[in-house]
Amino acid sequence: MDGKIISIQVAIIGGGPAGIEAASILSRYGVQVSLFEGESKWAHNIGNKFKLFPDFSSADELVQTLSQKIVENQIPAYLSTKIVALEKQKNAWVLTDEQGRSYVADTVLLATGYDIFDAKRKEELGYGIYNGVMTSVDLEAMLKTGKITNVLGEQPQCVTFLQCVGSRDEKIGNHYCSKVCCVTAVKQAIEVKKMSPQTDVFVFYMDLRMWGQGFEELYREAQEKYSIRFVRGRISEAASTFDDRVQIKAEDTLVGQPLKMSTDLLVLMVGMEASCGTKKLAACCGIDGEYGFALSKQPHLADNQTAQRGLFVAGACKRPMSISDAINDARAAATEIVEYLKIVPANKK
């Protein structure tokens, strides 16, 4: 610690959609907030995406709009400032960043978000071993280039998506559903089809959970308009073929027959896990729940509060969440914080 201490009313850790939204609302209420982001870009998880479900709006535009909010509301914002420790001291919270700088805040909002599942842990699917195996995040990057290519740089004949990689799987210890992958796969499948109409697109799923507005319609459109094939079955193993394609084995459970096929690209729909920051900070202040996610006080009426007074949570640090859910959750958290600040008088300064 270099002794320099910055004092803040509300510190928001995490500059994703939840953090930025909460910050802008709080500052509009006249609350003095500071926003901390470990990465060098705002909302980097969204920034890695091409288009967003269900309306195919541009991800970059959303990042732009969110960043604009920081500027408009003149929020003190710290990029590349990774908070590594969070500690309660009397009535204040002390935040410490990687460089050893400390910040003191009356109230803290944890919006540290998620990380994607490391697909290498599912070794049988061959991520990092076979060239044709990629994650949904890799595919977004490829979509951003505007061109879909196979390993050889040609237009792929076949692209296959596999759901539930790193979620709903006791083999890697994640029993939960990651919620957004189902619709993401449908969205990506449509995008692949749009860019490369000749490509056959398959989606292997265990259950398709089209929970949001417009999702079911998107699924239907994918089947009807884009002829995307949905196969109910889990791909158990992948192997490479002599021509550097990926051979996959699954069972079409609705037909009741094993299925073996080769595909140019196997896209693993990797689920969400608690981010490093979430795991570390939630554990710091004893609000770590299952799988390392932050634990809210109560799921219905106090979903933004925690067991610690003055510590709030919002967004995907609690559980897998879509962008819109995270933004809504941040608004709810902002309301909670405003209420909280009213009853806690400024006890110092």
Q: Which residues form the interface with another protein (CB under 8 A)?
A: 121, 123-124, 126, 129-130, 164, 168-173, 206-207, 232-239, 249-253, 256-259
Residue with Cβ nearer another protein (15 or 277): 277
Cβ 216 to another protein shortest distance, Å = 21
Structure tokens at 20: 């930025």
Given a contact cutoff of 8 angstroms between Cβ atoms, the answer to whether 34 and 13 are in contact is: no
Residue with Cβ nearer another protein (258 or 299): 258
Cβ 299 to another protein shortest distance, Å = 24
DSSP code string of 176-227: S--SSHHHHHHHHHHHHHHH-TTSEEEEEES-----STTHHHHHHHHHHTT-
Residue with Cβ nearer another protein (90 or 171): 171
Q: Work out the end-to-end distance of the chain between its first and last CA atoms, rounded to an integer number of angstroms.
A: 22
Cβ 306 to another protein shortest distance, Å = 23
Cβ 86 to another protein shortest distance, Å = 22
**How far apart (Å, rounded) are the C-alpha atoms in residues 85 and 83?**
6
Residue with Cβ nearer another protein (207 or 339): 207
Cβ 98 to another protein shortest distance, Å = 22
Residue with Cβ nearer another protein (129 or 152): 129
Cβ 126 to another protein shortest distance, Å = 5
Say if residue 314 is exposed, middle or buried (CB neighbours under 10 Å; 0-12, 13-18, 19+).
Answer: buried
Cβ 171 to another protein shortest distance, Å = 6
Given a contact cutoff of 8 angstroms between Cβ atoms, the answer to whether 148 and 156 are in contact is: yes
Residue with Cβ nearer another protein (119 or 190): 119
Helices (H), 73-180: 136-144
Q: DSSP 3-state assignment of 35? A: strand
**How far apart (Å, rounded) are the C-alpha atoms in residues 333 and 310?**
12
Helices (H), the chain: 17-28, 44-47, 59-72, 136-144, 181-195, 215-224, 276-284, 323-343
Cβ 170 to another protein shortest distance, Å = 4
Residue with Cβ nearer another protein (15 or 126): 126
Sign of CA dihedral 308, 309, 311, 317: positive
Residue with Cβ nearer another protein (72 or 123): 123
From the list 92, 90, 74, the residue with the least C-alpha distance to 35 is 74
Residue 346 CA to its chain's centroid (Å): 35
